[in-house]
Structure 1
Amino acid sequence: MIKLSNRLKKIAELVDFGASVIDVGTDHGYVPNFLCEKNISRDIIATDISKNSLKKSIDLTKELGNEKYIRNILANGIVNEKRDDIIIAGLGGIQIAEIILKSLDISKDAKKLILQPMQKTNILRRELNNMGFLIIEEEIIYEYERYFEIIVAKFTGEKINFNEMDYCFSRILIERKEKVYLEFLKERKKELQNIINSIKNEKDRSTKRSAELKELLKMTEEAIDEISS
């Protein structure tokens, strides 16, 4: 029986029952084998750019007898095969966006993209919109003393005219009044205040950057108030 971290368990829970799946950067292969174990999917591709990481997935797949359902492939990104659900987790937001763009046709055909950036979530949101993907769900998990944001998106071909600041926040989690997201925003507020205070007396820092940070702080406070109300 596979025991997943809360982060990986939430990602697995977002997979549609009976969907064909690709897990990009599968590492140990925990999610693909969990999906098999729970009979969520029996048509899974697990890829990784690292031979060592892929071997761990291959070994686990053999150990659990799931070779019939999981194909482990050494690859840098998404393979050229239609999939219902595409999982890309544990990479930076910029890298995830680049992987999607590199395999844009396959990504467009997918029913959903399940994405978990380790950083630069705002850039990922922006690039998804630029490529015509709509964010249909977001989740946030607190584990190992850090927050993990999860984005679910699908291709619509429509680009929404967002302000750059809009990408910094999850409107879905704010409207849902998600308590974990509230704590995440409170932590972000403290970080922003610290940064603003640290550059107050530094003449070489641009006034534009300071103004941007203050605007972001204001919006963070507004989001906190909206969830708290």
Structure 2
Amino acid sequence: MRSIVKLSNRLKIAASYIKDGALFADIGSDHAYLPCYVCQQDTEAKAIAGEVSEGPYNSAVASVSYHNLAERIDVRLGDGLEVLKNNEADHLVIAGMGGTLIASILENGKEKLGRTNRIITQPNVDERSVRKWFLANNYHIAHEAILEENGHVYEVIVADKGEDTNNMMGDGLEKQLLFGPFLMNTKSAFFRQKWEKQMEKRSRVISQLRKAKIPDQEKMEKISTEIKWIEEVLHDDKKQ
């Protein structure tokens, strides 16, 4: 038997949300490490590994062949969800790219998602765009995780099909889109680490905008509001 595939911690967490026996698609699969890992752990799982570039596609084919998983992992070359047939995968994984790109991939291929009951994402930046897409397309956030790896804080966002009135609703919606409904409640050390840095970053941007000959007032107001939100979320538990 070939050795077990080693995954980064962020991909391990993403993989942990794939249910047993799933037929899942991993979009932007690179070397197909995640599909190989899951199929080694779960003998009933099957996967589609999608890649848009020939180099990573060939690497994925080689990985699948090396681990003797060609009968269970179908590597396909194509852009985003173009690699899928309609109603083909019950789980979808998109990891390791920006949130805006993830949302664009989902939007451009959403007609393929008829039977996709769970979408697992790991955006590197702009997680808000992913949450907005879920909210607009009848998916509710079921799980969130946050971790630090190689000096960067990553979020994993898992959404299940169907509405859930317990989160992403009400007056605090914009905050939940920015911070994550689960993450802002638990406020882990990694969450605090991320948002303390983000507050500093936004404060620097405000300082630069104020130096402009004609300051962009709208942008300044938006960033100032977000700074206020960060302060509230980081410190509101200390008031209790």
Name the TM-score, length of structure 2 as normaliser: 0.87
Q: 2:56 aligns to what? A: 53
Q: 1:188 aligns to what? A: 198
Distance 1:41 1:25, change over 3 A: farther
Q: 2:121 aligns to what? A: 115
SS at match of 2:38: helix
> Contact 2:122–2:154 at 8 Å: present in 1 too?
yes
Distance 1:227 1:103, change over 3 A: farther
1:92 pairs, out of 90, 98, 106, with 98
- The amino acid of 1:189's aligned partner reads M
Once the two structures are superposed, the pairs formed by residues 1-16 of structure 1 within 5 Å of their partners are: 1-16=4-19
How many Å separate the matches in 2 of 1:224 and 1:109?
Answer: 38
How far off its partner does 1:160 sit?
Answer: 4.7
How many Å separate the matches in 2 of 1:47 and 1:123?
Answer: 22
SS at match of 2:147: strand
1:155 aligns with 2:158: no
Q: 1:125 aligns to what? A: 131
How far off its partner does 1:163 sit?
Answer: 4.8
- The amino acid of 2:126's aligned partner reads K
1:38 aligns with 2:41: yes
How many Å separate the matches in 1 of 2:231 and 2:175?
Answer: 13
How many Å separate the matches in 2 of 1:82 and 1:76?
Answer: 16
Unaligned runs of 5+ in 1: none
Distance 1:227 1:11, change over 3 A: farther
SS at match of 1:55: helix
Q: 1:63 aligns to what? A: 66
Q: 1:176 aligns to what? A: 186
SS at match of 1:115: strand
RMSD: 2.0
How many Å separate the matches in 1 of 2:79 and 2:237?
Answer: 39
1:139 pairs, out of 145, 154, 157, with 145
196-205 or 156-165: which moved more? Answer: 156-165
SS at match of 1:109: coil
Q: 2:233 aligns to what? A: 223
> Contact 1:116–1:149 at 8 Å: present in 2 too?
yes
| Identical aligned residues as a percent | 23
How many Å separate the matches in 2 of 1:145 and 1:14?
Answer: 24
Once the two structures are superposed, the pairs formed by residues 192-207 of structure 1 within 5 Å of their partners are: 192-207=202-217
- The amino acid of 1:191's aligned partner reads K
- The amino acid of 1:73's aligned partner reads R
Superposed CA offset, 1:159-194 (max 9, x none)? 956654542111211212322111111111111111
SS at match of 2:68: coil
SS at match of 1:89: strand
Superposed CA offset, 1:51-109 (max 9, x none)? 11011111011111111111111121221142121001112212211221222243242
How many Å separate the matches in 2 of 1:108 and 1:223?
Answer: 36
How many Å separate the matches in 2 of 1:40 and 1:198?
Answer: 55
Matched positions, count: 229
Distance 1:160 1:82, change over 3 A: farther
How many Å separate the matches in 1 of 2:66 and 2:133?
Answer: 39
